[in-house]
Structure 1
Amino acid sequence: MFKRVIAALALLAACTSTPAPTPFSGPMVIGDSDPVRFSGRQPTTFPVRGMDAARFQTFVDWPRAKAVGIEFVFLKATEGGDLLDIKFKDHWAGAAQAGIKRGAYHFYYFCTSPEVQAQFFIDTVPRTRGTLPPVLDMEWNPFSPTCQRRPAAATVRDEMQRWINIVQAHYGQAPIIYTTPRFYKENELAAFRNTEFWLRTTAKTPAEAFPGQKWTFWQYTSTGTLPNTPGAIDINAFNGSTAAWEAWLERRTLR
Structure 2
Amino acid sequence: MTPRRAGIGALVLALLGVAIWQWAISWRPDPARYPRQGIDVSHHQGAIDWVAVAESDQVQFAYIKASEGSDLRDRRFAGNWAAAGEAEIARGAYHFFTLCSPGDTQAANFIAAVPKTPAMLPPAIDLEFGGNCAGRPTPDAFLVELMVFIRAVEAHYGQRVILYLTREFDAGYSVSARVPRNLWLRGIFLEPDWAARPWSIWQASSFRRVPGIEGRVDWNAARP
Normalized against structure 2, the TM-score is what?
0.83
1:230 lines up with 2:214 in the alignment = yes
Task: Specify which of 76, 82, 93 is matched with residue 93 of structure 1.
Answer: 82
CA–CA distance in structure 2, aligned partners of residues 236 and 121 of structure 1: 22
1:194 lines up with 2:180 in the alignment = yes
The answer (yes or no) to whether the contact 1:34–1:223 under 8 Å persists in 2 is no
Classify the secondary structure of the residue corresponding to 1:235.
strand
Q: State the Cα deviation string for residues 165-185 of structure 1 (Å, max 9, x = none).
A: 111011100111001011012
Flag structure 2 segments of 5+ consecutive residues without an equivalent. 1-20
**1:231 offset after TM fit, Å?**
0.6
Equivalent residue pairs, number: 200
RMSD of aligned alpha carbons: 2.0
1:125 lines up with 2:114 in the alignment = yes
Q: Which residue of 1 aligns with 2:11?
A: none
User: How has the CA–CA distance of structure 1 residues 212 and 114 changed in structure 2, closer, same or farther, with 3 Å as cutoff?
Assistant: closer
Flag structure 1 segments of 5+ consecutive residues without an equivalent. 1-31, 241-255
The answer (yes or no) to whether the contact 1:33–1:224 under 8 Å persists in 2 is no
1:60 lines up with 2:44 in the alignment = no
Q: Which has the larger radius of gyration?
A: 1
Query: How does 1:81-230 map onto structure 2 within 5 Å?
Result: 81-141=70-130, 143=131, 147-192=133-178, 194-207=180-193, 210-230=194-214
CA–CA distance in structure 2, aligned partners of residues 34 and 213 of structure 1: 31
Normalized against structure 1, the TM-score is what?
0.73
Deviates more, 1:54-63 or 1:83-92: 54-63
Classify the secondary structure of the residue corresponding to 1:59.
coil
**1:158 offset after TM fit, Å?**
2.0
CA–CA distance in structure 1, aligned partners of residues 140 and 181 of structure 2: 17
CA–CA distance in structure 1, aligned partners of residues 179 and 71 of structure 2: 30
Classify the secondary structure of the residue corresponding to 2:202.
strand
